[in-house]
Amino acid sequence: MSQRMFKAVLLLLVIAAIATAVAATASATSRGAGAGPIKIGISLSASGDFSDPGKAAKRGYLLWQSVVNSHGGLLGRQVQLKIVDDASSPNQVVTNYQNLITRDHVDLVFGPFSTLLTAPAARIANRYGYAFVEPSGGGPAVFQEKLPNVFFAQPAPVINCGDPFTKFLLSLPKSQRPKTAAYPSLDDPFSSPIADRMRSQFQAAGVKTVYKTIYPPETTDLTPIVEKVASNHPDMVVAGTQSEDAYAQVKAMVQLKFSPKFLFLSNGASSPTEFPDKVGKKNTTGIFSCGDWFPNSNAPGNNQFIAAYLKKYGGNAYGIDSGSAEAYAVGQIIQAVAKKTGSIDNKTIIKTLHSGTWPTVEGNLSWDRYGSPKGSDLLVEWIGGRLVPVYPPSVALHKPVVPKPGWGR
Amino acid sequence: MHLFVQACILGLLTGGVYALMASGLTLAFGIMRVINVAQGALIVLGAFLSYTLFTRFQIDPFVGVFVIAPAMFVLGVCLQLAFLRVLREGEREELSLLVTWAIALGIEGVLSYVYDTTYRSTNTGYANRSWDVGGFLFPEVRVFAFALSIGIIALLYVVLARTRFGRSVRATVQNPVSARLLGVDAARVSAIGFGLSAATAAAAGAVFGIVFSFNPGSHYDLISRLLTIIVLGGLGSLGGAVLAALFMGTAEAVFQVEISPTWSPLTFFVLLIAILLVRPQGLFGVAARGSA
Amino acid sequence: MSRIRLAGATRAAIVIGALALFPFLVGQQWVQIGVLTLMYAGLATAWNLVGGYAGYVSLGHVAFFGVGAYAVAVAFTRWFSIGGGYRPFYVLPLIGIGVALVSVPIGWIAFRTRAATFAIVTLTLLFVVQQLAFNLHSLTQGSLGILLPQPSFPNSEYEQPFYYAMLGLLVLGLLVSRWVATSKLGLTLFAIRDDEDRARGLGERVTLAKLMAFALSTGLAGMIGAVWAYHLGQIYPQFAVDPLITIGMVLMVYLGGKGSLWGPVLGALILVPAQQELAYDYGSSELYLIAYAGVFLAVMLVMPRGILPSLTEQWRRRSARSRPTRPSQRAEEPATS
């Protein structure tokens, strides 16, 4: 056989291999059973950037599954979850949902972690007519897609997280309000939009912006920036942050001995155990943050959720990541639809969820046409070394304490 | 003006840490003509080890260096023997880039598995304190980090200049063929050199872990800066790497404060391109001998 | 010579034909994996022009992929509508030419360096472009990403247009590679790969050759990036300009055979479906990166020349041993396989 023939054979073998693989797996697709267990497909990030929150979401989903199955399942059928890994990659998440729907023929799908992955996945679900109730895709991109099948399982779109703080501050008498403010924020789809929104609200109310800046995501050293913030002597600092930069900002403020009268960090400071660990417990007093869920919230079913979580996973309530609660809420919503309509058909779910209010551990949820929730998040404050909801008054466990004391008190 | 000087201070202190990180990298290239893309990952590994020693056994990171540096020296030697020695001379430079990138991914994978992707930092008690000198703040931690970095670099320099091993290294850097003809055992020099480079990564990692937050994925950002620094300083030149690191650290901090934090990461790269246009071999590099 | 062309063309026709028939035989989820596979095959082939033919290992190619992605995203969210959904495909040639032109001055700076420095400079370029994508808010919307309009292709054939677009780009890449390999440009590039100084000394237009290869390579990468962006529907800086894409395409070239014509394609055909399947079937695997690194190391250390050249070499040795070499056989061995 000449060399050319050899190459031809090699190439043909490759093609044959592909074809065989295709044929083999094509014939292996199973048809979904009508009366057997309910299969729910989920793509989560077990590796890559989103793996930590991905794991929290997984715990939430699995917890819901065990709780619902122990009470007879959904509409009398046991719930099976098929969870696959997307390695925090948008390419993979799209493949995953396509496979879950067309290969595994799942009955329902639940959302992945993060807006970045939810947005492309929601489109796939929509193309196949599947409802997409999702725990963590709350950024503007998801709602801009204008899809009718999306339902974000949190009380408010992420960029409205700071609204309770703004409302609270502007409810104070003018003499107690800050006169000037600085807005150092992280350049990411959630952090800076939150701060931007708050800035326009404050500016409209007469609070002067003395400095604003957006720093890139990988900035590990925020000392020069905090230095710049401090040099403008603002009464209030409103920072759109994630975790790492929130810790870095606070540490830098402490090091530079700069303590504003009002300090709001959209994320990072909302973490019950990490934040005091990273910045020092004594430094947390008076710092505000916002979030969708906290262990001491009095949302419907929260106590049962925490009890079940601790029974299954151990630890204490303050170690529970809000991602688990969000995922749990997704399950609760589907459960409620099943109870109300007696069906879990995707069309029914989509139609039913667009009206009414639905009680979950995230609060009572309701949505607009494109899946954007119509409620508001919680304002929390660090008081006495604990993270406490302080606003809106209906969910507050303590009155807000202002102004912020100096560091170390 | 105050802001500018404060930024310069912070930048110089940070630059010292970068200098330590870059020194191992440029050394590896000089001796073996190997671009060790895994240096960033080794530094992060050092940071994690130092973090574990601190949180589990309450060993201060500056003390822990004496434990992890020798351990990583051994790791470095093993890596060199296992993966780099087998590369043939001609393709070593090119393939080393890819092989070490694979090693970096492997280290990242192992770290993700063991530690998961939460950000950590070694929070020593003195982590938030700073000294006030003439109205300017010198964060304690950074001063210690700077001191350790300079100390180790000085030690490296002494080893290179005074010891027999150091002379072998310098000979190999200047002219590998002649060095071998003169009896220098290239294999041994390479292995020990790589081990040393890994040991400096350990020290750098301990320091890095105190000053910055890190997770297994942090090595990308690190390595891109370090590569820029050593190219700027001239591949293979220790002095060049130190100067380039100090320069870059200061430039970035000043830029961040005076102009804009969003664009400051680009300072590194813009400076690199600018220098390369004029001097393709970097500030102190050896002029191209068929390759830069 | 014409006998080789005919045989080669026949082989090519068979493979391309099989790939073209593929969507008709399988379900949408496979076509979607096919889109990704062909994307990497095209990227690997494009990279091969610079990395394989000229021997310059570029680690920053994904920067141009990203530029193409953003070009189509910005164009179709700001200035044009997608019409029936096919317009983005029509502008691909423009994007290719645009990216190629932009790459020339960049290439000119980068090619002033060699080997390791070149690799580092191109890697730097990758981070610069990523940073620009983050920072140029008014153009790229920075970290908020850009949402592309979704075409209204029928659901049962949604993936097909993207699949054929990628296939078309791959074929284009292969044609260009073949043309370059058998032309004067190719000879110059191979001479550069072997010994650049000597080539320059012999009067070869070295810089021009390198820039041409670079422009062709980046233009292709840019077009592929544009199709990818349109397919995914939403792009962010860290995913459009992602170091893992670069390393993926480089790995595939090395696996399949650097410098060969079909090597990169083979590498992609093996790695992409395998990787997608492993990630899907083995559920929550945290060992993904470790496995990836392992494969990478294995390829680099055991078969650094890649499958095709290694197998071809073995075959050549075996047939040389069993038969006396005939003059016609020697003449039939082209410079690239």
Q: How far apart are CA C54 and CA A277, in angstroms?
A: 53
H/E/C letters for each residue in B216-264? HHHHHHHHHHHHHHHHHHCCCCHHHHHHHHHHHHHHHHHHHHHCCCCCH
Residue spans per domain, chain A? 38-154+298-365, 160-292+378-391
Tell me the backbone φ, ψ of residue C255, rounded to 5 degrees.
-65, -50
The CATH number covering residue B150 comes to 1.10.3470
Q: How far apart are CA A289 and CA A269, in angstroms?
A: 6
Residue C33 lies in a domain: yes
Distances (CA, A) of C167 to B213, C43, C275: 44, 12, 20
The parent domain of residue B269 ranges over 2-278
Of A248, A255, A278, which has the smallest distance from its Cβ to B139's Cβ? A255
Q: How far apart are CA A285 and CA A281, in angstroms?
A: 8
Count H helices and E strands in chain C, helices first.
16, 2
Q: Which residue of A has its CA nearest to B114?
A: A47
- Of the candidate CATH numbers 3.50.50.60, 3.90.1150.10, 3.40.50.300, 3.40.50.2300, the domain formed by A38-154+298-365 belongs to 3.40.50.2300
Check if B199 contacts C (Cβ < 8 Å). no
- Partners of A219 on chain C (C-beta within 8 Å) are none
Which among B3, B12, B119 is the top mutation candidate for probing chain A, defined by the most A β-carbons within 10 Å of its own β-carbon? B119
pLDDT-based confidence at C337, cuts 50/70/90?
A: very low
Give me the pLDDT at residue A60, please. 93
Q: How far apart are CA B237 and CA B233, in angstroms?
A: 7
* Domains: count for chain C: 1
Tell me the backbone φ, ψ of residue C240, rounded to 5 degrees.
-75, -30
Strands A386-391 and A358-360: unpaired
Tell me the backbone φ, ψ of residue A174, rounded to 5 degrees.
-55, -35
> Where is pLDDT greater, at A149 or B185?
A149
Residue C285 lies in a domain: no
Residue B19 lies in a domain: yes
What is the SS3 assignment for A209? strand
- Partners of B129 on chain A (C-beta within 8 Å) are 255
Each residue's pLDDT tens digit, A229-275: 999 999 999 999 988 889 889 988 998 889 999 999 998 888 888 88
Q: How far apart are CA C18 and CA C12, in angstroms?
A: 10
Q: How far apart are CA B153 and CA B19, in angstroms?
A: 8
| Identity of residue A321 | D
Distance from the A171 Cα atom to the nearest Cα atom in chain C, whole angstroms: 32
pLDDT over 80 at A8, yes or no: no
Q: How far apart are CA B187 and CA B86, in angstroms?
A: 11
Q: How far apart are CA A168 and CA B185, in angstroms?
A: 73
Task: State the average pLDDT over residues C255-278.
Answer: 85
Which residue, among C299, C301, C308, C133, has the nearest Cα to C229 in the 3D structure? C133
Distance from the A68 Cα atom to the nearest Cα atom in chain B, whole angstroms: 29
Each residue's pLDDT tens digit, C144-155: 788 888 888 888
Reading the block at residue A312, the tokens are 């299954």
> Where is pLDDT greater, at A221 or B41?
B41
Residue C309 lies in a domain: no
Of C116, C128, C297, which has the smallest distance from its Cβ to B35's Cβ? C116
Which among A220, A253, A271, A275 is the top mutation candidate for probing chain B, defined by the most B β-carbons within 10 Å of its own β-carbon? A220
Which among B39, B92, B101 is the top mutation candidate for probing chain C, defined by the most C β-carbons within 10 Å of its own β-carbon? B101
Check if B3 contacts A (Cβ < 8 Å). yes
Give me the pLDDT at residue B290, please. 38
Of A187, A224, A280, which has the smallest distance from its Cβ to B10's Cβ? A224
For domain A160-292+378-391, the CATH superfamily is Response regulator (3.40.50.2300)
**Contact between A189 and A116 (Cβ < 8 Å):** yes
Contact criterion met (CB < 8 Å) for B262 and A214: yes
What is the SS3 assignment for B137? strand
Which residue, among B22, B228, B234, B229, has the nearest Cα to C122 in the 3D structure? B228
- Partners of B221 on chain A (C-beta within 8 Å) are 218, 220
Task: State the average pLDDT over residues C162-176.
Answer: 93
Average pLDDT score over chain C:
83
pLDDT over 90 at C226, yes or no: yes
Tell me the backbone φ, ψ of residue C112, rounded to 5 degrees.
-75, -15
pLDDT over 50 at A28, yes or no: no
Of A52, A220, A256, which has the smallest distance from its Cβ to B117's Cβ? A52
**Contact between A106 and A32 (Cβ < 8 Å):** yes
**Contact between C63 and C241 (Cβ < 8 Å):** yes
| Identity of residue B11 | G
Runs of H (alpha helix) within chain B: 2-32, 39-57, 61-79, 92-115, 140-162, 164-174, 176-181, 186-211, 219-233, 238-258, 264-278
Reading the block at residue B147, the tokens are 């001191």
Which residue, among A132, A46, A64, has the nearest Cα to A326 in the 3D structure? A64
CB neighbour class for A31 (10 Å; exposed up to 12, middle 13-18, buried from 19)? exposed
Give me the pLDDT at residue A26, please. 46
Which residue, among B262, B259, B273, B183, has the nearest Cα to B228 in the 3D structure? B273
Q: Which chains sit next to B, with 3 or more Cβ pairs under 8 A?
A: A, C
Contact criterion met (CB < 8 Å) for B265 and A55: no
Highest mean pLDDT among A324-328, B98-102, B105-109, C8-12: A324-328
pLDDT (tens digit, 0 to 9) for every residue of chain B, 292 residues total? 777 888 888 889 889 889 998 988 888 887 777 888 899 999 999 999 999 999 888 888 888 889 999 999 999 999 888 888 777 666 777 778 888 888 898 898 888 888 877 778 787 777 667 788 887 888 888 888 888 888 888 888 888 888 888 888 777 777 777 887 887 777 788 888 889 889 999 999 998 888 787 888 888 888 888 888 888 888 778 888 899 999 888 888 888 777 777 777 787 778 877 777 777 777 776 654 433 3
Task: Tell me whether 0.85 is exceeded by the ipTM.
Answer: no
Runs of H (alpha helix) within A42-162: 51-70, 90-102, 115-127, 140-144
Check if B265 contacts C (Cβ < 8 Å). yes
Q: Which residue of B has its CA nearest to A187?
A: B262
Tell me the backbone φ, ψ of residue C315, rounded to 5 degrees.
-65, -40
- Partners of C301 on chain B (C-beta within 8 Å) are 83, 86-87, 99
- Partners of A218 on chain B (C-beta within 8 Å) are 221, 265
Please check whether the two domains, A38-154+298-365 and A160-292+378-391, share a CATH topology. Answer: yes
Distance from the B193 Cα atom to the nearest Cα atom in chain C, whole angstroms: 19
Q: Which residue of B has its CA nearest to A232?
A: B3
Among C34-43, C197-206, C282-291, C316-325, the minimum mean pLDDT is found in C282-291
Task: State the average pLDDT over residues C68-96.
Answer: 86
Each residue's pLDDT tens digit, C102-144: 999 989 888 888 777 788 888 888 888 888 888 887 888 877 7
The parent domain of residue C236 ranges over 2-242
Say how many CA atoms lie within 13 Å of B82 toward its Cβ: 12
pTM, two decimal places: 0.82
Q: How far apart are CA C89 and CA C128, in angstroms?
A: 28
Among A27-41, A338-352, B255-269, the minimum mean pLDDT is found in A27-41
Each residue's pLDDT tens digit, A76-88: 899 999 998 887 8
Give me the pLDDT at residue A30, please. 41
Q: Which residue of A has its CA nearest to C276?
A: A92
- Partners of A18 on chain C (C-beta within 8 Å) are 18, 22, 269, 273
Of A18, A94, A99, which has the smallest distance from its Cβ to C269's Cβ? A18
Residue C273 lies in a domain: no
| Identity of residue A136 | S
Give me the pLDDT at residue A21, please. 53
Q: What percent of chain A has pLDDT over 90?
A: 48
Each residue's pLDDT tens digit, C20-72: 888 888 888 888 889 999 999 999 999 999 988 888 889 889 999 999 999 99
Which among C56, C121, C136 is the top mutation candidate for probing chain B, defined by the most B β-carbons within 10 Å of its own β-carbon? C121
Give me the pLDDT at residue C98, please. 93
Size of interface B-C (CB pairs under 8 A): 125
Q: How far apart are CA A113 and CA A106, in angstroms?
A: 19
Reading the block at residue B287, the tokens are 């002029």
Contact criterion met (CB < 8 Å) for B257 and A225: yes
Sheet with A180-186, strands from edge to edge, namely: A208-215, A180-186, A236-239, A262-265, A287-291, A378-383, A386-391
Give me the pLDDT at residue C84, please. 73
* Domains: count for chain B: 1
Contact criterion met (CB < 8 Å) for B112 and A49: no
In DSSP terms, A358 is beta-bridged to: A365
Contact criterion met (CB < 8 Å) for B109 and C304: no
